[in-house]
Amino acid sequence: MFRKVLIANRGEIAVRVIRACKELGMRTVAVHSQCDVDALHVRLADEAVCIGPNSASRSYLHIPALVAAAEITGADAIHPGYGFLSESAAFAEVCRRCQITFIGPTPEAMRAWGDKVSARAQARRFGIPLLPGTDTLAHLSDALGAARELGFPLMLKASGGGGGRGLKIVRDEAALVRAFDSARAEAQAGFGNPELFLERFIERPRHIELQVIADHHGHVSCVGERECSIQRRHQKLLEESSPGLLSGAAHGRLIEVAVEALRETGYRSLGTLEFIVDEQGAAYFLEMNTRVQVEHPVTEMVTGLDLVAEQILVAAGGRLTIPVKPMAPRGHAIECRVNAEDPVTFAPSPGRITEYHPPGGTGVRVDGGVYGGCVVPPHYDSLLAKVIVHAATRPQAIARMRRALDEFIVEGVRTNLLLHRRIIEHPAFASGPMSTRFLEETVLRDPSPRVNLDAAAARPLR
C-alpha cells in the first residue's frame, strides 16, 4: 500500500480522493494555487503545498511543480482526479521516471484508449460497433474529401479532447470550412494536440456509459451503466444509473467484447467506455475516458462499491475486491451537478459563498468542495458540489432528488439548482427516456415551467 498520496487536483474530486485515502490509512498531500489557499481540499489534507499562481497552466497543469511537491513531501503516489492532467500520458511517464506511482492507467494504455482516433482503432480491432468516421485529418482538403464520402451531418472532433471542447457540428461543406481552423485552435489550446477527425452525427441520441475497472492480475469487470443524456453544449448536467439502460440481444455481447478488449490491451485502472445510442437502440462506441468520471457516485450508489478506493488498490498492485461476476445493481441513482453559474445565461458566478447548507437524510449524498465563507475563484471549473440520491425505483429517486434540491441552500453566488429542479419536475423527465437534445428542446423551450428561472436570476444575492 502507499504511505502518502498527493492529489494533483482541486475542488470536490480532491476532497473525494482525500476521503478514500484516509479510509485506506494513507496520508494525503493537497496542492493548491495561491487563490485556493483556504480551499476545502487544503483544509482536509494532512499536508498542503502551494504550487504556483492562480493560472492553471502555472499551477495545476505545471508538471515540474507537481512532481517537486511530491518529492518534497515524500509522496509515493499521485492521484490526478479528473480534468487537468488526469489523461496526460506525458505526466504519467514523468511520474514513472521519478519512481512515483501514477494512480491511473499506464502511459501506453492512455495513448491507446485516451486518444479518440487511437481508441476508434482499438474498438474496430475488437469488433466494438463504431459510427462511420475517419482517422486523423491533416488538412482541410482531407476533411472535405472525407465528408463527401461520409455524408452530412458530421461531428468535427478533437482527437485528444473531451467535454465537448473542440467539437463542432457541421451540416454542409461551408460549415466545415468555417469550423476547421477554429476547431484546430481550440484543440491545441485545450489539449496541446490540434489533430481532428470526423464522425457521423446522430441528431437525437442517448448517451450511455459502461463503468469498467481492471487490475494487474487479469481481472476486468464491468460494474454498471450510466445514462448521461441530459447535457448542455456537450457538458453533462445530470446522470442516472440503474439496471437495463442498455437493452436488446446485443447488450451482453457488447459488454463481453469491451471487457475482452481491455484485457487484451493490458488496461489496468478505472475507465469508462462511452456510447451513442440511436433511436433504434443500436449502440456505437464514442470514446473512452481513462480516469475516474465526475459521475462515478451514481454507480457507487447502486453497487455499494467505492470505485476510488478500488482504483487506488489496483495502482498499488492489489487485486480487485469485486467478484468476477459483479452483483446486479440495486435500485436507481440520480446525480445533479451544482455549478456556480447564472441559471438563465449559464455565465459563471464566482464570489464568496455567504451561506451553505447541503441536503441530507435517507439516500442522499453530497460530494462537495466548498463551505460557507469560502471563495469560488473565477479561474477554474464552476462545479461546487454533486447531489446524489438513491432509492428503490426511479420515481422514488426523482421524488428524493426533488426534496434534496429544495433543501440545498447556497447564497452569495448564483447556482443552477433551480435549473435542476426544472429538469426533475418536467413531465417528460419522468416519462423518459431522454436524448442529448432534451434540455434545449424540451426543458428550456417549455413556455409554462413550474420553476421560474428568470425570477431566480433576478433575485439579489445575499
Q: Are 300 and 262 in contact (CB under 8 A)?
A: no
CA atoms within 13 A on the CB side of 61: 15
C-alpha span between 78 and 97 (Å, rounded):
13
- DSSP assigned state of 130: B
C-alpha span between 192 and 294 (Å, rounded):
22
C-alpha span between 125 and 346 (Å, rounded):
41
- Which residues, listed in sequence order, are joined to residue 31 by a DSSP beta bridge? 49
- DSSP assigned state of 30: E
The angle at the Cα of 202, spanning 112 to 131, to the nearest 5 degrees, equals 35
- DSSP assigned state of 55: S
Residue among 39, 42, 20 at smallest CA distance from 31: 42
Spot the catalytic one: 291, 400, 421, 422. 291
- DSSP assigned state of 343: T
C-alpha span between 12 and 444 (Å, rounded):
28
Catalytic annotation on 403? Answer: no
Q: Report the sign of the C-alpha dihedral through residues 61, 27, 15, 229, in that order.
A: positive
- Which residues, listed in sequence order, are joined to residue 211 by a DSSP beta bridge? 224, 272
Place of cell 457540428: 169
Percentage helix, strand, coil, to 5, in the chain? 35, 25, 40
Q: Are 409 and 355 in contact (CB under 8 A)?
A: yes
Active site residues: 291
